[in-house]
Amino acid sequence: MDSIFDSNVAYRSLTDDEILQMERQGCTAEDWSKVKVNPDFSAAYIHQSHFSGVNHLGSFNKYYTLKSGITRHSGIYRSTLHNTAIGNDCFISDIHGGIANYKIEKECFISNTDTIVVDSETSFGQGTEVVVLSETGGREIIIHDQLSSHEAYMQAMYRHDKKLNEKLRSIAYKRAEEVSKHYGFIGSGSVITRCGILRNLYIHSFSKIEGATRLENGTICSSLESPCYIGDNVIAHDFIFQNGCKITDGAMLHRCYVGQACVIGHGYSASDSFFGCNCQAENGEACAIFAGPYTVTHHKSTLLIGGMFSFMNAGSGTNQSNHMYKLGPSHHGILERGCKTASGAHILWPAKVGPFSMIMGHYNCHADTGIFPFSYIIEQKNENYLIPGIALRNIGTLRDIHKWPKRDGRHPDTIQQDFITFDAYSPYTIGRMLKGVAILKDIDKSLDEDETITKWNGLSLKRKSITNGLDLYRMAINRFIGDKLLEKLNELSHLPIEQLYDAMKPSVPYCPIWIDLCGLQVPECEVERLEKDIKKEIITSAEQLSERFARISESYNDYVWAWVWQRLLLMYPNTTNENFISTVCFPIICQWESATYALNDRAIKDAQKEFSSDTCVGFGTDGDEETKIKDFIAVRGKLEENSFVKDIEQERERTKETAAKWIQKLTT
């Protein structure tokens, strides 16, 4: 049986002199013979404390210097200990309700806390069912400390495959069973101060908990490189906090999983919710959400409920309705990766919105716009208008795409739970665009000559939006195909031209359909292979599942190229080794140059709106027109000085140079 006590240390009994000294220092014990100590133990640093059950105490030689400059010597002061194992050089002081059934590793600093206790066998929050999406149940996630966004996605969304779901749940419960204990754990170097009740917790090394009100039944993952911080007035029940998290300022979490490097604070409240890595949630509230990586919500007026999100930015006053007041709050919806909501946006679930789309106003028509990524859905006069592809020319969309990799707060030396594909242009989104183009063409053909507005799945579509959408999607497709061809040409630039065609043939099979497995973009065939291996019990543990996700992630570029290569063959079916350069490379590079330049040019023109005269309103309040302009420039700067705009302009100019370089190289 797993024991709280370290069998590698030859603990000894207290001497009579040590017992007398401790009693003179105000200590008591139910039975001093059950107090065992490290061979180097000194009784000088044990004061006004009571011991019951069996306790093993380390040696106490270290001084702690606080930020204030105050020094404290390690030891045990004014505390009650019951069935504990205390490592060397710990400082334990003023634990009013006592510490019971805990193994505390070396060099922990624990003070001014009410109670730290394990009161029954526990799995520390692991194995908890988190009822995401449908509040009435059916998409529960079984959380554990090795859970990734991808595994959680499969648990929640693949309920149509009963056997797969059973095996996934078995993996999660197996992990919970592995960690179950009758005692708690506080890892070395942890700091716990000014807290209330801490019950049934597994606290990994270098955790820092300051001023938490109540933490019950949870696992706090942490490490030297990526410590977890829990701050003032936090209340959490049935939870897992991954390493690098910051949970602060009165956050209240009930049945929640919080992924690596998440920030939750400023009174945020969440129940039955999953948060993938790098999420930020402040001020507002969440209920039954599946927040994939990089979900961000900052506003007190924002409620996220019953929805799936990732790489999402929720505007102020964003709200969703999952209740039609018939059979309960059973509805849910999906905003695919990169979606945004404008201030005051309201969505009536069920609904599904395509990647990188923006919702403005009330969205009530339950449509699935998955085949129209990078779109706007705007409410006008109680009608929902779809504007396909318009976000492709939006400077804000480009800025989001560039900022996510830079905002990865996970330490590179920490084992990462989530495998992230940051690409905005990929077979996942481009495949959607190809379907969207086909639909838009069909709609356009069906319009009468004088018809300016039509309907698609309950959404209104203007003829002008169809035309512009087709144009933008074609540019994005051409840009993506050209990007990947040029990447491959650079990779193979050492080869003679006549060898390029054969060298470019993919090393992995082509898979037409791609899936966003909550942060990890993958070919559907890989997911199907994974499902089979889980059902056949080739994969039976959380570690094996994580290893498979890692391998899939490592093969991403190979699968992307297989998809692009097949697309090239479909576009140019008569391609041979002899005509590959003239038939494929030249036209693709020319189309890429035109599309990339045009999209960047439109993004820069979109950025110019931020520097128009309309945006100067409110500047230079007490001055004339000249003062207004000077004040605006002093605060906002000039368009040509904006670092991101400068990057886009430079990329636009490099496009011409790159195209010219490769045309010349392939010609000679």
Q: Which residues on neighbouring strands pair with residue 308, listed in sequence order? A: 290, 334
What's the whole-number mean pLDDT along residues 267-291? Answer: 96
State whether residue 208 is helix, strand or coil: strand
Torsion angle of the four alpha carbons 130, 134, 137, 143, in this order, in degrees rounded to the nearest 10: -20
Intra-chain end-to-end CA distance of the chain, in Å: 74
Report the distance separating Cα 426 and Cα 480, nearest Å: 7
Residues in contact with 333: Cβ distance below 8 Å, sequence separation at least 6, in sequence order: 306, 307, 308, 320, 322, 347, 349, 350, 351, 352, 353
Helix (H) or strand (E) holding 101: strand 91-104
Report the distance separating Cα 419 and Cα 399, nearest Å: 22
Q: Which two structure tokens, joined as six digits, stand for 210?
A: 């300051």
pLDDT at 628: 74
> Which of 611, 650, 651 has the alpha carbon at shortest distance from 632?
611
State whether residue 63 is helix, strand or coil: strand
Q: Is the dihedral of CA 203, 204, 205, 209 positive or negative?
A: negative
pLDDT at 404: 92
Report the distance separating Cα 139 and Cα 159, nearest Å: 7
User: Given the DSSP bridges, would you call strands 514-516 and 459-462 parallel, antiparallel or unpaired?
Assistant: unpaired
Q: Which amino acid is it at 420?
A: I
What's the whole-number mean pLDDT along residues 419-423? Answer: 95
Q: Is residue 1 scored above 50 in pLDDT?
A: no
Other C-beta atoms lying within 10 Å of the C-beta of residue 549: 23
Which band of pLDDT confidence, cut at 50, 70 and 90, is reported for residue 293?
A: very high
Residues 2-39: tens digit of each pLDDT: 678 877 778 999 999 999 999 999 999 999 999 999 99
Report the distance separating Cα 255 and Cα 236, nearest Å: 8
Q: Which two structure tokens, joined as six digits, stand for 373?
A: 């990524």
What's the whole-number mean pLDDT along residues 310-332? Answer: 84
pLDDT at 327: 62
Query: Quick one: DSSP state of residue 582?
Result: I
What's the whole-number mean pLDDT along residues 555-581? Answer: 94
Residues 59-84: tens digit of each pLDDT: 999 999 988 899 999 999 999 999 99
Is 316 buried (19+), middle (13-18) or exposed (0-12) by CB count in 10 A? middle
> Which of 203, 225, 292, 219 has the alpha carbon at shortest distance from 253?
219
Residues 161-179: tens digit of each pLDDT: 999 999 999 999 999 999 9
Task: Answer with the residue of higher pLDDT: 394 or 522.
Answer: 522
pLDDT at 304: 95
What's the whole-number mean pLDDT along residues 576-588? Answer: 92
pLDDT at 55: 96
**Do residues 290 and 274 lie in contact, with contact meaning Cβ atoms separated by under 8 Å?**
yes
pLDDT at 5: 82
**Do residues 237 and 217 lie in contact, with contact meaning Cβ atoms separated by under 8 Å?**
yes
pLDDT at 651: 83
Residues in contact with 567: Cβ distance below 8 Å, sequence separation at least 6, in sequence order: 481
Q: Is the dihedral of CA 33, 35, 41, 45 positive or negative?
A: negative
> Which of 294, 283, 287, 300 has the alpha carbon at shortest distance from 261?
294
Residues in contact with 150: Cβ distance below 8 Å, sequence separation at least 6, in sequence order: 418, 419, 517, 518, 519, 520, 549
Q: Indicate left, alpha or beta for 474 from its phi (over 0: left) and psi (-120 to 50: alpha).
A: alpha
pLDDT at 324: 66
Report the distance separating Cα 102 and Cα 83, nearest Å: 7
Query: What's the length of the chain?
Result: 668
Helix and strand numbers (H, E) in the chain are 14, 43
- Predicted TM-score (pTM) of the model is 0.93
Report the distance separating Cα 344 and Cα 302, nearest Å: 9
Q: What is the mean pLDDT of the chain?
A: 93
Q: Is residue 325 scored above 70 in pLDDT?
A: no
Report the distance separating Cα 569 and Cα 485, nearest Å: 13
Q: Which residues on neighbouring strands pair with residue 578, listed in sequence order? A: none
Residues in contact with 660: Cβ distance below 8 Å, sequence separation at least 6, in sequence order: none
Which band of pLDDT confidence, cut at 50, 70 and 90, is reported for residue 236?
A: very high
Residues 608-667: tens digit of each pLDDT: 777 776 777 777 677 777 777 787 877 777 777 777 778 888 888 889 889 999 898 888
Instruction: Provide the CB-side half-sphere exposure for 509 (13 A, CA).
Output: 8
Which band of pLDDT confidence, cut at 50, 70 and 90, is reported for residue 328?
A: low
State whether residue 21 is helix, strand or coil: helix
> Which of 593, 607, 606 has the alpha carbon at shortest distance from 654?
593
Instruction: Name the E strands within 468-537.
Output: 514-516, 521-523
